[in-house]
Amino acid sequence: MSIPSDRNELATLVTSLRRHLQRQERVGIRFLFPGEALQTNVVMADGENLLSGTEGDLFSDSSATYKAKTLEELREAIGDCRRCKLWSGRTHLVFGVGNPKAKLMFIGEGPGRDEDLQGEPFVGRAGQLLTDIITKGMGFKREDVYIANVVKCRPPENRNPEPDEVASCEPFLKKQIDLVRPEIIIALGKFAVQTLLQSKVPITKLRGNWHSYHGIKLMPTFHPAYLLRNPGDKKLVWEDIKKVIKEMNGENA
């Protein structure tokens, strides 16, 4: 047994733990519940990797998650995820679906009941509306785009994701974006928009305007579930979608 090697490993672990706790503190978490497993997030990347700026936690550069070259490898690396408390109430982890090299990516908040049961994002009533937007509004097939959520497990009773849950899943979303490399992201709803833009500005002020996510054009708009409750705002979403169509056609929005 090499004592210097053991010391190096211990130093690395302490550094990772410190970074993990700093990240937790930034999202308002100042303690761990008894028996709660430490969350393991993606290490900070450099260069052009879209994970640049993600604080390293207990993952290392050699982790399967960080080194995943495809969405399939990333899903396998995430495994039976128990990095936050949402795992205990899920039926299926809802990873993502669609074209792995899509030019257009939709990102929502989190799975609902139907998504949890089927293991696929946006398959319930809100998902049917999103499918109509994609197929009838934009003229694409659902399999032409890529669809994912900020959190991969259903929050109980469809409540809003909590800060620690978003923090645990966000590195995996960033890795998905990094692997797909879309030209445009449509962020659906408050939590997707505010997570991606790292902003607390209300979505009513953000929607309809182009933003940038690591050089990728990002259009915030309302979540389809919101439109089911507020059908009068469908016209606002259609305005946002028309800007995306123009951009994809090479026209000036």
pLDDT value of residue 101 = 97
Q: What percent of the chain stands above pLDDT 90?
A: 70
- Rounded to whole angstroms, the Cα distance separating 206 from 192 reads 12
In this prediction, residue 155 has a pLDDT band, given cuts at 50, 70 and 90, of very high
Write the single-letter amino acid at 106.
Answer: F
Residue with the bigger pLDDT between 68 and 26: it is 68
Give, in words, the CATH class of 3-248.
alpha beta
Checking if the pLDDT of 32 tops 80, the result is no
Check residue 65 and give its pLDDT: 80
Please check the confidence at residue 133 and state whether its pLDDT lies above 60: yes
Q: Kindly tell me if the per-residue pLDDT of 37 is higher than 50.
A: no
Note the pLDDT of residue 3.
46
Distance between CA 220 and CA 237 in Å, rounded?
Answer: 9
What single string gives the DSSP state of each residue in 99-167?
-TT-SEEEEES---HHHHHHTSSS-SHHHHHHHHIIIIIT---GGGSEEEESSSSPPGGGPPPPHHHHH
pLDDT score at 51: 53
pLDDT tens string 201-225: 999 999 999 999 999 999 999 999 9
Q: What is the pTM of this model?
A: 0.78
The domain segmentation of the chain, as residue ranges, is 3-248
Tens digit of each residue's pLDDT (9 = 90 or more) over 74-126: 999 999 999 999 999 999 999 999 999 999 999 999 999 999 999 999 999 99
Q: Is the pLDDT of residue 34 over 60?
A: no
* More confident call, 17 vs 215: 215
If DSSP states are collapsed to H, E and C, what string results for 187-238? EECHHHHHHHHCCCCCHHHHCCCCEEECCEEEEEECCHHHHHHCHHHHHHHH
Q: How far apart are CA 43 and CA 22, in angstroms?
A: 14
The CA distance from 209 to 218, in Å, is 9
Inform me whether the pLDDT recorded for 11 exceeds 50: no
Distance CA 15, CA 25 (A): 15
Distances (CA, A) of 111 to 86, 104, 114: 11, 20, 8
Say which residue, 50 or 212, is predicted with more confidence.
Answer: 212
Give 246's pLDDT tier (boundaries 50, 70, 90). very high
Q: How many CB atoms lie within 10 A of CB 198?
A: 8
**Per-residue pLDDT at 49:** 56
252 — pLDDT class (breaks 50, 70, 90): low
